[in-house]
Structure 1
Amino acid sequence: MNAMIDQANASHAQDSQSGLLRFITAGSVDDGKSTLIGRLLFDSKGIFADQLAAVSRSKHKRTVGDTIDLSLLTDGLEAEREQGITIDVAYRYFATPKRKFIIADTPGHEQYTRNMVTGASTADAVIILVDVSKVKLNEDGSVELLTQTKRHSTIAKLLQIEHVIVAVNKMDLVNYDQAVYERIVAAYQAFGDSLGLRDVTAIPLSALSGDNVVEQSGNMSWYRGPTLIELLEGLSVYDEAHAAPLRFPVQLVARHNGHEANDFRGYMGRIESGKVAVGDRLVVQPSGQSATVKEIVTFDGPLQQAVAGQSVTLLLNEYVDVSRGDVLAGADQPATLLKQVTADVCWMADEALDLRRKYWVKHGTRQTMAKVTRVESVLDVNTQQRQAVSDPAAGLKLNDIARIAITVQQPLAADAYDDIRATGAFILIDEVTHQTVAAGMIRLRPQ
């Protein structure tokens, strides 16, 4: 039995390295994100004939003659087509013989950075598009990247996105000049080093004409690397959550209808990290009670062991008080209980942070009242320097990235975001409007 379990876990790990890849496109306005995704879908035959026909008939087409405006394949809102910009996050699915993909086309406009954060929160990789016609090439050889490119790269780092692909787009506008490409890549690499990005790969392309997207470009013989689709197919995505301690946020307490002799009481949820087996000793957080796993129940039948990513129902030997919002953790490696939280946040609301107000914090399946007690620093995305906040009453504005301190009404069973994403992430909700105002990443160690 143990050999079968180990074999299943090894197979699951192998699938996570070569199976589904979630990635997003990011960059500034008009960098060609939607066109790039449209080109990927078109050249990899990931769209249907009726979709092509609908796009060809669009009154908002921005191409000449019978040429298809590929950006319209992802810009689904009427306002997006009218203005020629992406507003909402558009998700598209396609597959090649080697891999399945879920793409999130995210907005480039600064006003919609919050939508980019939403799309990036579940991504394994990010394609940062750099428009060669917009970067400033100085006479001294230096290159000035756009602020929005830096902001999106910073968010990618904060969210711990594993792979960063720098797509230097619209190379046709500079006659496929290798020197221009290399200068831009050097500038981004220097910025990426200051951020601490670990896996950065650059590629020159033209999304409009399809150079180096799916087919190798004949216009850039100096580039010897893979095409974009080959690069995406080869990315290794290993979910480190499988090796992390057990974290099982309880979503629902399941009981029978009350007329059964056997008192069935199961705790339903998704294993966010680690693994659990029958006989394991668990601790209920935040109460601290302990119990032993009696059964692991699924729709397809009972299991002896379950791993991260599986949704299961756990039955315990002992009668303990467990409710929605609690976390079941391994007794040997429990989460940290926090009432005072230090976190990095991306402020996503048009209305500025008000330290006098209260907010709801949504952490896993728990929601509790919270108060932001102070803003410690605000990050300058251009210099990557944290600027101390002199005014203690100073709030945060839309798109600000800051480190803040929060006091919560009920303790959170949390981990550092860098260690376990699921229990290291939270959102802040306005208690009056019920709008999400910030996405946060818990920090347990100084950074």
Structure 2
Amino acid sequence: MNAMNENLTGQRSGERGLLRFITAGSVDDGKSTLIGRLLFDSKGIFADQLDAMSRSKHKRTVGDAVDLSLLTDGLEAEREQGITIDVAYRYFATPRRKFIIADTPGHEQYTRNMVTGASTADAVIILVDVSKVKLREDGGVDLLIQTKRHSTIAHLLQIEHVIVAVNKMDLVNYDQSVYDRIVKAYGEFAATLGLKDITPIPLSALTGDNVVERSGKMAWYDGPPLIELLESLSVYDESHDAPFRFPVQLVARHNGHEANDFRGYMGRIEAGKVSVGDKLVVQPSGQAATVKDILTFEGSHQSAAVGQSVTLLLNEYLDISRGDLLAGSAQPATLLKNLAADVCWMSDEPLDLRRKYWIKHGTKQTAAKVTAIDSLLDINTQQRHSAEGLKLNDIARIALTVQQPLAADAYDDIRATGAFILIDEVTHQTVAAGMIRLTA
């Protein structure tokens, strides 16, 4: 797998490429502090940033200790209240890997922002605060609802790796038995979700135990510190092997003063690969096309793969515009006017089955109507039950009808062509993020 990844991404030997990950959990579990600790201990903070944090009027540490949470909590309201509201992205690198971190809010009110940060993540760190979980007399543990909610979202979004960071171990004197009980309880809950790749780790973000270096205070833990764990995670994008998918963003023409006609179709390859001479199908029209040339800023290419932004030239003169999809003729996308989808409702205004919404799918936007709520997911029990409406942060399976057919795939097969958002046609606010599960 290592060799395959390095060939695909062109990375140097010993470097594993870019990893996108998010932190998630309940309010004040230490997400911002953990990211600040990662950046601080890996020398990813500039001197002026460190000085600004040490002089901040909202610093919540004692004495000269730096409040590392201030590094990602950039909004004044975040620093004043001591909570994360918006998603904060930070970049840092080690000799083995480059990272993009998304610090997501823990408060239930801002779950929609967590969904935004998780949509492009390869891994998620679920923080569990040992001081907040309820240790029952029967030996069990009651996990917080936000821990369950964020784990559910991670599963729905098909995030590949889940790291369970049992934080603030210093508050329980690094007691292994407390850690073991929490890990066991999370494992039982994860089994009901179907989460598979789960790695637990005990740590203290505030003191730095097991974050960048192994902690001598937890000799019973024989695994790697968090940074080594993140460096070792495999990130193989399965969309390299998926059928070709190219949503058209723009039709490019020359300025009209040249003798040769030029018509190129610009966009980003969302899945698969393409080569000159490949047979394609234009969706939803169904017209056949053949690749004549592949252009980038560097010039003409014989082939291109997922993640590249290119301009495709075709042999045929066809009616193709923004919102159309160019797909491999052997495995085209499915055309849907009625679809089933899982959605996370992100609006303060509840779902109204009488209203119309806009659906944004790839580069295509068309009118849509929610025709039914099939089932509402209970975060605690993972059971589904009937519902007459959806409110903020609800997760549900719904049925949708769209005005113009969508060329789509199941989200589990291809993320880019299986994801969508719903937009309120009056306020133009995003009201839901959805994952297509297909239908007839």
**TM class by shorter-chain length?**
over 0.9
Q: Distance in 1 between matches of 2:84 and 2:363?
A: 31
5 Å matches for 1:271-350? Answer: 271-350=269-348
Amino acid of the residue matched to residue 96 of structure 1? Answer: T
Aligned to 1:431: 425
1:263 aligns with 2:261: yes
- Say which SS state the counterpart of residue 225 (structure 1) adopts: coil
Q: Is contact 1:283–1:330 with CA below 8 Å preserved after alignment?
A: yes
5 Å matches for 1:229-268? Answer: 229-268=227-266
Amino acid of the residue matched to residue 103 of structure 1? Answer: I
Shift of 1:341: 1.1
Please, which of 52, 58, 61 is the counterpart of residue 59 of structure 2? 61
Q: Is contact 2:247–2:267 with CA below 8 Å preserved after alignment?
A: yes
Q: Is contact 1:346–1:402 with CA below 8 Å preserved after alignment?
A: yes
Q: Is contact 1:13–1:238 with CA below 8 Å preserved after alignment?
A: no
Identity %: 82
Q: Distance in 2 between matches of 1:236 and 1:224?
A: 21
Please, which of 74, 91, 95 is the counterpart of residue 93 of structure 1? 91
- Say which SS state the counterpart of residue 237 (structure 1) adopts: coil
Amino acid of the residue matched to residue 181 of structure 2? Answer: R
Q: Is contact 2:338–2:439 with CA below 8 Å preserved after alignment?
A: no
- Say which SS state the counterpart of residue 185 (structure 1) adopts: helix
Please, which of 9, 19, 28 is the counterpart of residue 30 of structure 1? 28
Q: Distance in 2 between matches of 1:175 and 1:152?
A: 27
Q: Distance in 1 between matches of 2:414 and 2:189?
A: 26
Shift of 1:14: 6.3
Q: Deviations over 1:196-224 (max 9, x none)?
A: 11100000000000000001111101001
Q: Distance in 2 between matches of 1:138 and 1:223?
A: 24
| Stretches of 4+ aligned residues off by more than 3 angstroms | 7-10, 13-17
Structure 1 pair 8–150 and aligned structure 2 pair: CA distance change class (3 A): closer
- Say which SS state the counterpart of residue 128 (structure 2) adopts: strand
Please, which of 369, 394, 398 is the counterpart of residue 392 of structure 2? 398
Number of residue-to-residue matches in the alignment: 436
Using structure 2 for the length normalisation, give the TM-score: 0.97
Q: Distance in 2 between matches of 1:245 and 1:114?
A: 30
* Root-mean-square deviation (Å): 1.5
Aligned to 1:3: none
Aligned to 1:11: 7
Using structure 1 for the length normalisation, give the TM-score: 0.96
Q: Is contact 1:13–1:239 with CA below 8 Å preserved after alignment?
A: no
Aligned to 1:414: 408
Aligned to 2:151: 153
1:384 aligns with 2:378: no
Aligned to 2:115: 117
Please, which of 351, 356, 359 is the counterpart of residue 358 of structure 1? 356
Q: Is contact 1:379–1:385 with CA below 8 Å preserved after alignment?
A: yes
Aligned to 1:171: 169
Q: Is contact 2:6–2:16 with CA below 8 Å preserved after alignment?
A: no
Aligned to 1:373: 371
- Say which SS state the counterpart of residue 18 (structure 1) adopts: coil
What runs of 5+ residues in structure 1 fail to find an aligned partner?
1-6
Aligned to 2:225: 227
Q: Distance in 1 between matches of 2:260 and 2:185?
A: 67
Q: Is contact 1:378–1:403 with CA below 8 Å preserved after alignment?
A: yes
Shift of 1:444: 2.4
Q: Distance in 1 between matches of 2:252 and 2:9?
A: 30
- Say which SS state the counterpart of residue 374 (structure 2) adopts: strand
Q: Is contact 1:363–1:425 with CA below 8 Å preserved after alignment?
A: yes
Q: Is contact 1:340–1:408 with CA below 8 Å preserved after alignment?
A: yes
Q: Distance in 1 between matches of 2:271 and 2:118?
A: 20
Q: Deviations over 1:382-423 (max 9, x none)?
A: 10111123xxxx221000000000100000000000000000
Aligned to 2:44: 46
Q: Distance in 1 between matches of 2:369 and 2:48?
A: 51
More displaced 10-residue stretch of structure 1: 82-91 or 9-18: 9-18
Amino acid of the residue matched to residue 421 of structure 1? Answer: R
Amino acid of the residue matched to residue 185 of structure 2? Answer: A
Q: Is contact 1:247–1:272 with CA below 8 Å preserved after alignment?
A: yes
